[in-house]
Amino acid sequence: MAKTKKAVTIGELKKSGYKRQSIREEMRHNLIEMIKQKKNLFPGIIGFSDTVIPQILNAIISGQDIIFLGERGQAKSRIMRNMVNLLDEELPVIKGCEINDDPFAPICSECREKVAEKGDEVEIDWLPREERYGEKLATPDISIADLIGDVDPIKVAEGRYLSDEMTIYYGLIPRTNRGIFCINELPDLTERLQVGLFNLMEERDVQIRGYRVRLPLDILLVSSANPEDYTNRGRIITPLKDRYGAQIRTHYPVSTEDEITIVEAERKRFEGDDFEVYVPDYMKEIIAEITHLARRSPDINQRSGVSVRTSIANFETIVSNSIRRAVTVGEKLAVPRISDLPYIQASTSGKIELESFEDTREEKIINDLIRKSVAGVFNRYFMVNELEEIVLQFSGGFSVEVSDMMSAKSYIGNIKEMIGFTDVLKTIADSEKPEIVAAAVEFLLEGLHINKRLNKSRSGGKTVYRQ
């Protein structure tokens, strides 16, 4: 089938039957069609299907500007960036226009003059949806010039009058005309800038250097904020808050299953290694459980939140240590173990804020989170009373040494001497590969220790479990 030739002038665009619509009408229409076709509207967003996403859909169908409230690491920015998928693949704009003017209804003076002079002969371009999205992180040093615009001194020097609209250069928001503009951390904008946004959203005009410029931009404005900044510090002016049609509260993954799904999707992967990585389910659950416990810990500042990035970084850390071990001892399979968990101190410390500022407490708090997480996961897999046969075998002086740098084969000899140990391991190790068995051994021993069935001591860089 021959590809339809795209219009290159306003006249050709009229003949093609193209009908103009606002950004809100466009997104609303596309969203309704996608719902009918049962498409995945926000790919990569996990755990929001019954909570956040329905609210977003309602806001878009209503044509409302949106503000997302949520602590760090709750996928606010990702959701905003995904909204670009609701735009048409391409949009006709007047060629050379800085603010993507509508060929049928230009708003800038230069394009109006061009259309008045050349009419249907005015050339047009087709703007892809990716270029109709703008984003800015709010910082105290942002100016009106950055967001909205300012007088261009070069144009003034060329002889234009200050009162002439043509002396203005446009900021980020006008350059996203007929698109989506997102502001991250809205409360960090100064009140003066927030007033400028309010004027833009409500009055459709802006004040630049004392000159009132009518600028009826066609923009969907989306913002994000931390609830603490938004509600407690009062740093968003009331008229601006009132102009956002929808205030949507995001949240962290409710279940460890959702947390694990996000981690597996987001963790960094590298190609070309000559070894394989396998992460047992119980190790994934422990990493997710650590983050979930941190979100409920009274020792951690919950107003700042504990991001999903904590789980991702911790997962990457235990995988990295298992790779380092595999390379060191010459194994082809890298499997994270319990003895790799202490290394997450480095990847957790920078992602939590303590209620107390005592340096020595941070390590203790993280160790407590690890211990409680292992206990919780272990007790979901095993009934401790059913493991008494294994515990009794330690009463005769039997002990097991483990270390994050011990080869997997070092573990095999110990468990062969113990009655029933191999059968128990089969419930968590679905393979007889030494690396997978070694990880299961450590999980079982640590679980018995945490449940006060075995003692644990450190000796010469190794951990010893005994009665």
Classify residue 343 by burial, with Cβ atoms within 10 Å: 0-12, 13-18, 19+: middle
Domains contained in the chain, CATH given: 10-249 (3.40.50.300), 256-466 (no CATH)
What pLDDT sits at residue 205? 60
What pLDDT sits at residue 233? 45
For 218, other C-beta atoms within 10 Å of its C-beta total 22
DSSP lists the bridge partners of residue 280 as none
What pLDDT sits at residue 210? 58
Is 304 in a helix, a strand, or coil? coil
Cα separation of 189 and 229, whole Å?
A: 11
Per-residue pLDDT of the chain (467 residues; tens, 9 = 90+): 334 578 999 999 999 989 999 999 999 999 999 999 999 999 889 999 999 999 999 999 999 999 999 988 899 999 999 999 999 999 999 999 989 999 999 988 889 889 999 999 999 999 999 999 999 998 878 887 888 877 666 665 665 555 556 667 788 888 999 999 999 988 888 887 887 787 777 766 666 655 566 678 899 999 999 887 654 444 788 888 888 899 999 999 999 999 999 999 999 988 877 789 999 999 999 999 999 999 999 999 888 889 999 999 999 999 999 999 999 999 999 999 999 999 999 999 988 888 776 656 888 999 999 999 999 999 999 999 888 888 888 887 788 889 999 999 988 877 777 777 888 888 898 888 999 999 999 999 999 999 999 999 987 788 999 88
What pLDDT sits at residue 232? 42
Three-state DSSP string of 121-152: HCEEEEEEHHHHEEEEECCCCCCHHHHCEEEC
Cα separation of 326 and 279, whole Å?
A: 13
Is 202 in a helix, a strand, or coil? helix
Task: Give the DSSP letter string of 308-371.
Answer: HHHHHHHHHHHHHHHHHHHHHHT-SEE---GGGGGGHHHHHHTT--BSS--HHHHHHHHHHHHH
- φ/ψ of residue 247, rounded to 5: -110, 115
Both tokens of 405, joined, read: 């740098």
What pLDDT sits at residue 5? 74
Q: What one-character DSSP code corresponds to residue 156?
A: H
Closest CA to 435 of 343, 331, 353: 331
- pTM attached to this predicted model: 0.85
What pLDDT sits at residue 231? 47
Q: Which residues of 357-377 are buried (b: 16+ CB within 10 A; e: fewer)?
A: eeeeebeebbeebbeebbbbb
Both tokens of 37, joined, read: 């076709």
What pLDDT sits at residue 30? 96
What pLDDT sits at residue 104? 94
